[in-house]
Structure 1
Amino acid sequence: MTFFDRALLALGNILFLLGIVLIIGPQKTYVFFSRPAKRRGSILFLLGIMMILMKWTFVGFIVEFVGIMGLFGDFFGIIVQFLRSLPLIGPILSHPAVAPVVDRLAGIHTLPV
């Protein structure tokens, strides 16, 4: 019921940005969000936050999600490789029927054998 609550989404966005600043520092955060390759993702992310604050919750959430994918899409390959090292999830993600689908979704390019 509260998944698209405007106040909770705004609070989550603020805490997300503060967490990034506290983890990597203000200067590196600015550099990360202002890179030319990440500029479209940054604009969409901030536009999504503004739309949420202006009560366009669902549309703002979608726009913000697209911005997050543009900003952090490079990390999905790293996340999948980490998940493959875990005991319960790893064998499922490494299964020959599942691995090509997961690799394609994460953007992992494997060489054919």
Structure 2
Amino acid sequence: MVPVTEFQKIGVGLSCFGIFFILFGVLLYFDSVLLAFGNILFLAGLAFIIGLRRTAHFFFQRQKLKASSFFLGGVALVVLRWPRIGMLVESYGFVLLFKSFFPVAFGFLGTVFNMPFLSTLFSFSGSSSSVV
């Protein structure tokens, strides 16, 4: 098992708070302050989890430069109080940045659903015969 450092624990907390503020900002009709705060917390959490050098290397690889510019440009638009356009640009950049990770995540979810306990749990939740 890989040991988790205190900085990584702090990073996970910052990232979770960032995602919470982003979702809360979207729920409150794209509140620019909440979205900007969420973006800053998410990026700071990412830097705490994997380190500053690896974060910079991830965002500024040659093949990911277009995606990074869209993502970071969207963050800048949100900070400059253009939340709707900024979130559209940012989400496009996010999809471009993490498109190679999506098959891995979906494969992991497929193995999770094949676990005996979870498959019985999801079979019960899917076949609800309630009339409510």
TM-score (norm 1): 0.73
Q: Which residues of 2 match residues 30-45 of structure 1 at below 5 A?
A: 30-45=56-71
* Structure 2 unaligned regions, length at least 5: 1-26, 123-132
Residue 104 (structure 2) aligned to one of 56, 62, 78: 78
Letter in 2 for 1:20: L
Cross-structure match for 1:53: 79
Identical counterparts, % of pairs: 39
Offset, 1:51? 1.1
Alignment of 1:65 with 2:91, yes or no, is: yes
Offset, 1:61? 0.3
Q: Alignment length, in residue pairs?
A: 90
Residue 46 (structure 2) aligned to one of 20, 30, 50: 20
TM-score (norm 2): 0.63
Letter in 1 for 2:106: V
Partner secondary structure for residue 112 of structure 2: coil
Partner secondary structure for residue 74 of structure 1: coil
* Structure 1 unaligned regions, length at least 5: 93-113
After superposition, what is the alpha-carbon deviation per residue over 1:4-60, rounded to whole angstroms, capped at 9, x for unaligned? 111111111111111111111111111111101110111111111111122211111
* CA-atom RMSD in angstroms: 1.7
Structure 1 stretches of 4+ moved >4 Å: none
